[in-house]
Amino acid sequence: MPELPRSLGQLRQSRFSEALLSTRTVKDELRANLICKLQRKEPLFPGVIGYDDTVVPQIVNAILSRHNFILLGLRGQAKTRLIRMLTTLLDEATPYIAGCEIRDNPYRPICRRCRDLVASEPADTPIAWLTPEHRYVEKLATPDVTIADMIGDIDPIKAARRGQDISDELTVHYGLLPRANRGVFAINELPDLAGKIQVGLFNIMQEGDVQIKGYPVRLPLDLLLVFTANPEDYTARGKIITPLKDRIGSEIRTHYPLTIDQGLAITGQEAWTSRPSPASILVPSFLRECVEQLAFLAREDKKVDKRSGVSQRLPISVLENVVSNAERRALAAGEDVVVPRVLDLYAALPSITGKLELEYEGELKGGDQVARDLIRTAVGKVYSNYFDGLNLAAIIQWFELGGSLKLGESTPSSEMVRQLGPIQGLLEKTGALGLGPSEPDALRASAAEFILEGLYAHRRLSRSEERGFTADERRREPGEPGETRAKPKRQFN
């Protein structure tokens, strides 16, 4: 990029057209750059998965319509990430009058200082430049936010230091909104903002200007206002007042991943699993599916509060914890390959219980037990995807003939494979998971344990803390002992 102009005189002679900059608003700029991206078929929000056919088209429509908009959705639905990526639709460089608190347009200054400066030095007025990141201002709404924080107020200390009259416009201390001029201003968790503060947003949304308390100055600000909110929290923490909702151009609903594949893609992208470690880390696909299935089940479980939601941060945190537990075991055993097991899922309970808001029934049962039940059901569903219709009678028969197996969380992989070897047919059945006989012991041990846990989830085996895996003592249905009956293959989403 050539060197940018540093004075108003140089700016007038540059490619930054006065006719364009003096009339184009932030919303016009976003719209124009969005149109260019659509024509070039460029990705609009890279890294945001699962919204291409639902949320993204609605955001595009809002920007093309030059609307202020709000994203409504439960926690962990990428609302903040989406609004922060709006900066990718801003110009690479935007000129403003250097030293101006509200980043005044050199061709159309609105504050007293800049108007006087341009009038006295029309060619030598210093110019500075804004990057897209500088043009994004975000505020987390809290009940203690004041009008002065958002809009501004008269600053008596500034008046005293400058020897100016308290009623002079130059004594104004600008709030966040004026300081976001010519950019994107985002308010997270809008219902938490007190009602009287929400009223303070009326003018900027309808008339495009703000009035500073204590002084009759009107500032025609140039802004795109975007908000986020959790609709289920309105009654618990606050609400968006009706006149403000009426002034928001578009209301866009976000959602959790609609399919397991979308969830796997998000978790794989966000979880810190590719980490520097003395041992190489390998996470089997069936274990990733168990982690993701856990989140989907939690969102449907009657013991979990649906109004609070189950954030996508849950499977991300769980997968990271699962890998860390496997890494700890591998380092202690001196192994050079880290492969998580189902036992590591149970070790990751601390990353599950803190993210589940339970209903009364769930509180009675306890967070740990609810999480354990979810893990067991998740393993059972993923197991069915791989082993429905396969005959595992030989494995079950080994236990029915008196065999038992207790697997320790810290058992090294080689020792675990040695313990699993005598169970007839078990290691051979790992082929259904795409494993061959030459795979590392850590991967074979993880796959074999997954099979046993799947049989336990389907009540074909029993498991206890004292004895580990044993035969199911309940009476079986007619048929070959321990044989799983073939059923149509299902895809659980």
Q: Residue 186 belongs to what H/E stretch?
A: strand 183-188
CA distances from 201 to 26, 198, 239, 240, 248 (A): 18, 5, 15, 12, 11
DSSP string of 354-396?
TT--B-HHHHHH-HHHHHHHHHHHHHHHHHHHHHTT---HHHH
For the stretch 15-39, pLDDT in tens is: 887 877 888 999 999 999 999 999 9
Between strands 337-338 and 69-72, the pairing is: unpaired
Rounded to an integer, what distance in angstroms lies between the CA atom of residue 290 and that of residue 88? 35
Q: Number of C-alpha atoms within 13 angstroms, CB side, residue 447? A: 25
pLDDT tens sequence across 304-359: 998 888 999 999 999 999 999 999 999 999 999 999 999 999 999 999 999 999 99
pLDDT of residue 483: 42
Please report which helix (H) or strand (E) contains residue 38, including its range.
helix 26-40
User: What's the confidence (pLDDT) of residue 490?
Assistant: 35
Alpha carbon of 194 to those of 52, 73, 189, 240, 419: distances in Å?
34, 20, 11, 9, 63
DSSP string covering 383-394: HHHHHTT---HH
Q: How far is CA 393 from CA 390, 423, 481, in A?
A: 9, 11, 7
Between β-strands 218-219 and 223-229, what pairing exists: parallel, antiparallel or unpaired? unpaired
Average pLDDT score, the chain: 88
DSSP assignments along 442-456, one per residue: HHHHHHHHHHHHHHH
- State the pLDDT at residue 210: 72
Q: At 463, give phi and psi (nearest 5°).
A: -145, 135
- Longest CA pairwise span in the chain (Å): 99
- What is the spatial distance between Cα 244 and Cα 322, in angstroms, rounded to a whole number? 45
The residue extents of the domains of the chain are: 8-253, 260-471
Query: Residue 420: in which H helix or E strand, if any?
Result: helix 413-420
- Decide the pairing of beta strands 127-130 and 94-97: antiparallel
pLDDT at 416: 93
CATH code of domain 8-253: 3.40.50.300
pLDDT by 10s per residue, the chain, length 493:
568 999 999 999 888 878 778 889 999 999 999 999 999 999 999 999 999 999 999 999 999 999 999 999 999 999 999 999 999 999 999 999 999 989 999 999 988 889 999 999 989 999 999 999 999 999 999 888 988 888 887 766 665 666 665 556 667 778 899 899 999 999 999 998 888 888 888 877 777 677 776 566 678 889 999 999 988 765 455 788 888 999 999 999 999 999 999 999 999 999 999 999 999 999 999 999 999 999 999 999 999 998 888 999 999 999 999 999 999 999 999 999 999 999 999 999 999 999 999 999 999 999 999 999 999 999 999 999 999 989 999 999 999 999 999 988 889 999 999 999 999 999 999 999 988 878 999 999 999 999 999 999 999 999 988 889 999 776 344 444 334 443 333 333 3
